[in-house]
Amino acid sequence: MPRITSRPITRHLPSLLGALIAVGPLSTDMYLPAFPAIAADFHDIAAPQYSLAAYFTGLAIGQMTQGALSDRFGRRTPLLGGLILYTLASLGCALCWSVDSLMLFRFLAALGCSAGVVIPRAMVRDLADGPKAAKLFSQLMLVMGVAPIVAPMLGASIIQFADWRFIFVAAALYGVLALAATWAYLPDTLPPTRRLRTGPTAMLIRYTGILRERAFITHALTGAFTSACLFAYLAATPQIFIGAFGWSSLGFAALFGFNSMAYIGYSQLNPILVNRFGIAPVITWASVILLAACAILLIFALTPHGPLPIMAGLLLSEAGFGLIQPCAMVGALSRHQAHAGSASALLGTMQYSAGAIAGLTVGILANNSALPMALTMTISALAAALAATLRPSLTFAHAET
């Protein structure tokens, strides 16, 4: 692989990219405490999970388009357009009148939000590779990790004093702030000379070529099945802790925030472990940890003993989420600098497709117990571990600082 010459990474860039990626978890996590209220409002226990599955489906579809657009027109323009769509669709969620309308606006919000998910990852690949990219991804996760801590607390606070629809008004306000920051401060990391001027047929051929590359597909599948575990957890825990265990929305938000802090801690441990052992061993051992955590959850779900064992299993699973995802991203994008936007789009599409299936599965099986979540997570973790065993060896170029 040729030596990569990176453009300078300014001090504020990781924070700004992390804040943009945080649009995704903010849109998901802020309304989690409102799941019981949404279910009661629409008289359907599975309504929140259906809306979450629609959101993940929108993210999966939207990233295919956003990745190609960002390779063709640069990173800034598609990102600005996506944030505008996200903001307007979030307002639509606040005005929805049925489960179907909520699903539609969540789907449209995700189409816009997908730009904030896929394009910052491609920008990281524009700037760095190997351990340096893993470090930058971990810095992004440190910033975006604030969202899963703050967002449920904010959502829980809103529903203490107002209708759950105001949660989506707050999401729209964040979209406005992200749009303003992108317009004012975000440079375009893809110069015109490196943009791909190709049509739909060429894009399809490019996607096919990326999917056929072994390093991409194995790392992407590892990350996708790990995401399925995470999204099953997101879809199920509000009904488990608020609905089944009778926790308050603020109590659930506190638990979710604590787990998110654990996720941040694990993701920040990632660069240390990568520098010491390498990317491949970190993925291997983290996959084993995730599978063990999910198996423990399944045992506790089959033999209920209250919330504490479930909490412990979920806390351990955060190690798998925090350690696998940054390394899987680097491994999947390692051989695709020339079309990082398209590769990042495929990576995100696979992750959120798996998440949509996991969320829908949990919704269909929902029974106010932890068993649907634990079973879905265990199957997904097993698939992630199997995909991890098929990865090829990789040699990374060291990007210049």
- The CATH H-level superfamily of 13-187+202-388 is MFS general substrate transporter like domains (1.20.1250.20)
Angle subtended at Cα 152 by Cα 174 and Cα 142, rounded to the nearest 5 degrees: 70
Check residues 41 and 125 and name the one with the higher pLDDT. Answer: 41
Question: How would DSSP label each residue in 21-76?
Answer: HTHHHHHHHTTGGGHHHHHHHHT-TTHHHHHHHHHHHHHHHHHHHHHHHHHHH-SH
Return left, alpha or beta for 43; rule: phi > 0 is left, psi -120 to 50 is alpha, else beta.
Answer: left
Give residue 70's pLDDT.
81
Residue 201 reports pLDDT greater than 80:
no
For residue 82, the model assigns a pLDDT of 93
Q: Give the pLDDT confidence score for residue 292 in this predicted structure.
A: 95
Angle formed at CA 378 by CA 297 and CA 312, multiple of 5 degrees = 25
Query: pLDDT tier at 395 (50, 70, 90 boundaries)?
Result: low
Residues with Cβ within 8 Å of residue 384, at least 6 apart in sequence: 221, 222, 223, 224, 225, 226, 228, 229, 287, 290, 291, 320, 324
Give the C-alpha separation, 45 to 51, whole Å: 12
* CB count in 10 Å sphere of residue 281: 13
pLDDT in tens, 230-272: 989 988 999 899 988 899 988 999 998 888 888 878 877 888 8
**Tokens representing residue 283 in the block:** 């993925």
Please give the angle made by the CA atoms of 309, 312 and 315, to the nearest 5 degrees: 150
pLDDT-based confidence at 180, cuts 50/70/90? very high
> What 3-state class would DSSP assign to 187?
coil
Q: What value does the mean pLDDT of the chain take?
A: 84
Rounded distance between C-alpha atoms, residue 280 and residue 270, angstroms: 12
The tokens describing 132, both together, are 């340096």
pLDDT score at 133: 66
| Predicted local distance difference test score (pLDDT) of residue 190 | 79
Q: Residues 210-227: pLDDT tens digits?
A: 888 888 999 999 999 999
Higher per-residue confidence, 38 vs 67: 38
pLDDT confidence tier of residue 366, bands split at 50, 70 and 90: confident
Residue 190 near residue 67, CB atoms below 8 Å: no
Residue 179, pLDDT score: 93
Q: 90 vs 1, 64, 103, 150, CA distance in Å?
A: 43, 21, 11, 18
Q: Which of 231, 254, 88 is nearest to 155 (CA)?
A: 254
Average pLDDT score over residue span 46-71: 85
Nearest residue to 34 via CA among 164, 172, 168: 164
pLDDT-based confidence at residue 1 (cuts at 50, 70, 90): very low
The answer to whether 145 and 239 have CB atoms below 8 angstroms apart is: no
Q: Of 173-177, 262-266, 308-312, 334-338, give the lowest mean pLDDT range.
A: 334-338
Q: Percent of the chain, pLDDT > 70?
A: 89
Selected residue with higher pLDDT from 146 and 259: 259
pTM value is: 0.77
Rounded Cα distance between 23 and 110, Å, is 10
How do the domains of the chain map onto residue ranges? 13-187+202-388
Q: Which of 68-77, 124-133, 236-245, 337-346 has the highest mean pLDDT?
A: 236-245
Quote the CA–CA distance of 126 and 190 in Å, as a whole number. 7
Asked whether 326 and 138 are in contact (CB, 8 A), the reply is yes
Split at pLDDT 50, 70, 90, the class of 373 is very high
Q: What is the pLDDT of residue 146?
A: 75
Cβ-contact 154, 30 below 8 angstroms: yes
In sequence order, the 6+-apart residues with CB closer than 8 A to the CB of 142 are 18, 264, 267, 268
- pLDDT, position 220: 93
Residue 151's pLDDT band (boundaries 50, 70, 90)? Answer: confident
Token match 């909490």: residue? 311
Q: What is the mean pLDDT of residues 19-31?
A: 86
CB 352 within 8 A of CB 59: yes
- pLDDT over 50 at 398, yes or no: no
Separation of alpha carbons 216 and 347, rounded Å: 8
